[in-house]
Amino acid sequence: MANKKRIKSALISVFDKDGLDAIVKQLNSYGVTIYSTGGTQDFIEKLNIPVERVEDLTSYPSILGGRVKTLHPKVFGGILTRRENKTDQEQIAEYEIPEIDLVIVDLYPFEKTVASGASHEDIIEKIDIGGISLIRAAAKNYDDVVIIPSKEQYPAFLNLISQSAETSLADRKTFARDAFNVSSHYDAQIFNYFNQDGIPVFKQSQIKAKTLRYGENPHQQGTFYGDLDAMFDILHGKELSYNNLLDVDAAVNLMDDFKNDDPTFGILKHNNACGFATRKTIKEAYLAALAGDPVSAFGGILISNRPLDETTAKEVNELFCEVVIAPEYDARALEILKEKKNRVILVQKPVVLPKKQFRTALNGILEQDRDLISETVANFEPRTKTVPTAAEMNDLVFANKLVKHTKSNTIVLAKNGQLLASGTGQTSRVDALRQAIHKAQSFNFDLHGAVMASDAFFPFPDCVEIAKNAGITAVVQPGGSVKDQLSIDYCNENGVSMVFTGNRHFKH
């Protein structure tokens, strides 16, 4: 077949040698001439496999502390020569340049070096020059050359050469595609390192991706770009769906604001908390969260800031839920939760959440900093004659964290470390408050002594009046309206305490 090419020679130069031995042995069994450098050459020689030194090919040693090893016409000429081009063939014959049919190379771990907190000097030294050039050259000439740009391609390549050293044009083009994926991702990471607080350019890259069953609805395709394994150990259950991932994201971001608090449990539906509570034990926290809205909890996403024990798992197992997230599970708890075969059980790893957020808008992309502000009592500015009690202050902090993670316009009502109800995603703040009050009363919660949190300021005193009439005694809001004084005056006249944070927490 015309598009079949036999691998007769290979250049191998890699930083990470895991899994390389099987490939080298297979290539040697076909009589492939192997060229190599430095540590890779030593590795191959220890396998008792013949290897030609690139230094002997180029008549130049590795120089500048290893910065220049393969950057030479006798290397790149052998990769880029077009086998069917008469002029190319005449030139490589004239300059005694051997053809190179296979390039196996990887790149210095720039991304990992940055993540490790290494010095600027160490990071700069992990900017690969020779490797990236070899990848691009071999990928460009995929008509004749196979490029293996990282160990992620080792299994597919080893399977390909298990029967012969021949490759098809389709094979080579697939590896070339993978190569440009690797090189473009690498360059994006370098650019973003240099562009911290720099020019506004959107260059984000995720090397890993997972095709989902479908998107938000069955008629929509969906894909997750990222490395879920870096964030979770998936212990049980079906594959996470597009909607699951959105809810898990909302749950993880919400619990991140409570990770250092007393035992706290959350139940979320459609990206909003429908149950949330802090108690002395995680079982008590779960039961209080469930009591907040036992109807909406059905099919929800559950998250805990503490390990789940057997007694808590027994309670959770009575509820149909899609996903359970915790930092740890004891053995018996895990056995119980696994009784539902489709229930997804996740162990959340202690990873730092991204500081940037992106979403498509119109024909472009919006970027913003993640909302990292989480107010404490120290950030509250009392604006009324009546000052919240210590218990009310704690509830105001609790409610204000929740309101930050609830769809706007929103009002959150809380009492004794428990979410009583929230009004979510309303076009009117008054409607959000009325929704929250109605919901709390429908589950027989006593709102007397409860607190209210608002994600944005009150332009009129109507909300504080409605809240007071429902029994609410303390309010937290950003402030900032030109008519703030109207709400302050009402609170002063009716014995309601109110504090300002100075920070709006819209979430759309």
Nearest to 269 by CA among 236, 247, 242: 247
The C-alpha atoms of residue 133 and residue 474 are separated, in whole angstroms, by 64
The C-alpha atoms of residue 10 and residue 34 are separated, in whole angstroms, by 5
Omega before residue 317 within 30° of 0, cis:
no
Sequential DSSP letters for 342-357: T-EEEEEP-PPPPSEE
Catalytic residue among 126, 210, 236, 270: 270
The C-alpha atoms of residue 142 and residue 101 are separated, in whole angstroms, by 9
Nearest to 102 by CA among 138, 128, 129: 138
Dihedral Cα 398, 399, 402, 404, nearest 10 deg: -110
Catalytic residue among 8, 25, 126, 140: 140
How many Å from the N-terminal Cα to the C-terminal Cα in the chain?
57
Burial of 262 (0-12, 13-18, 19+ CB in 10 A): middle
Tokens of 51: 């290897």
Dihedral sign, CA of 465, 471, 474, 475? negative
* 3-state class (DSSP) for residue 431: helix
Strands 300-304 and 264-269: antiparallel
**For residue 129, what are the CA distances in angstroms to 70, 113, 117, 196?**
10, 16, 22, 22
Nearest to 128 by CA among 149, 142, 144, 147: 149
The C-alpha atoms of residue 321 and residue 111 are separated, in whole angstroms, by 37
Dihedral sign, CA of 459, 461, 467, 473? positive
The C-alpha atoms of residue 387 and residue 86 are separated, in whole angstroms, by 89
Query: What single-letter DSSP state applies at residue 44?
Result: H
Per the annotation, the verdict on 140 as an active-site residue is yes
Per the annotation, the verdict on 4 as an active-site residue is no
The C-alpha atoms of residue 412 and residue 400 are separated, in whole angstroms, by 8
Distance of CA 126 to the CA centre of its chain: 24
The catalytic residues are 140, 270
